[in-house]
Amino acid sequence: MEIPQNLDSKFRFILVAARRARQLQSGAKPLIQSPSKRPTRVAQQEVGAGLVPIEFVSLASLEKTTKKRAAK
């Protein structure tokens, strides 16, 4: 499986596909028609096709969120 252009590493591809596979196992509807019924393979195909939205969070915004939560 090739890494989509919008992802920067194999590790991120695996993380995104794993999260999507968990959603599929919990009952989410597949976004594609696949000959495979295995959630992990379907998730990889969805991510590869660019159908799964990916949100990149910067370290700076993550630190701001953590500080706000600690201040409460």
* Residue 62's CATH number: 3.90.940.10
28 assigned to some structural domain: yes
Q: How many domains does the chain have?
A: 1
Q: 8-67: per-residue pLDDT in tens?
A: 888 989 999 999 999 999 999 999 999 999 999 999 999 989 898 887 777 777 677 777
Q: Would you say the pTM of this structure is higher than 0.75?
A: no
Residue 31 makes CB contacts below 8 A (sequence gap 6+) with 46, 49, 51, 52
5 assigned to some structural domain: no
> Which structural domain, as residue segments, surrounds residue 42?
10-71
| Residue 38, burial from CB neighbour count under 10 angstroms (0-12, 13-18, 19+) | exposed
Classify residue 35 by its DSSP letter.
Answer: S
42 assigned to some structural domain: yes
3 assigned to some structural domain: no
Cβ(45)–Cβ(34) under 8 Å?
yes
48 assigned to some structural domain: yes
